[in-house]
Amino acid sequence: MAITTCIFDAYGTLFDVAAAARLAADEPGQAALAAVWPRLAEDWRRKQLEYTWLRAVMGRHADFWTVTGDALDWALEANGLADPKLRARLLALYRELAAYPEVPSMLAALKARGLMTAILSNGSPPMLAAAVASAGIGGFLDDVLSVESVGVFKPDARVYGLVTDRFRCARDAVLFVSSNGWDAAAAAGYGFRTAWVNRAGVPVDRLPARPHHILPDLTMIPDLACP
């Protein structure tokens, strides 16, 4: 079946999750952060994802902004930077993450080819609205879908079901794109066509399903969706 709908994960896929720590590290008075920011960014992201999985298993949902703050607290302490002012600055920057350079032109190409486009994210609606507005990509999106509609994080199948409910499309008419291998695999298991944006060049996760395509960035998504 032809692809009619392209769905994107947000954080790490469209938006650069390392940007907050990187930008803060360049600011005056942040020599301590500058020395460790890559590790802090990695710790922050890893704990952010781990907490979503653990909360889903425990049945103790909290919105993604809460999880993001909890993960940052762990990362700051782990790196010896438990500073309330730095915490506030990093969270402010996280609300306005930059999109990867190829994102606007990629989304514009999809819309020019007549495809529906949307975000499907763990992010809470206020977080996603801020990020989309900051990146200036709202005009290229038909919708922004949040897990808050179902109260559980990915990879719960109910999250992927938000797409077919919203767009009234068959599962195999969806191209789902994520920078998380586990997310792309879960979406493939749900029945979507999937592309994993493997920016770090890491191995494929050993899960029940596998991504259909593995790409280094988002540049080729329009050609993949409309061959």
d(CA 179, CA 170): 23
Q: How far apart are the first and last CA of the chain?
A: 12
193, 170 Cβ separation under 8 angstroms: no
Instruction: Indicate which residue of 9, 16, 43, 183 is catalytic.
Output: 9
Find out whether 179 and 9 touch, Cβ atoms under 8 Å. yes
Secondary structure of 71-106 in HEC code, one letter for each residue: HHHHHHHHCCCCCHHHHHHHHHHHCCCCECCCHHHH
Minimal CA–CA distance to 9: which of 63, 58, 49?
49
Instruction: Verify whether residue 9 is a known catalytic residue.
Output: yes
Question: How far is 207 from 218, CA to CA, in rounded Å?
Answer: 23
Please give the Cα distance from 147 to 214 (Å, whole number).
25
Active centre residues (catalytic): 9
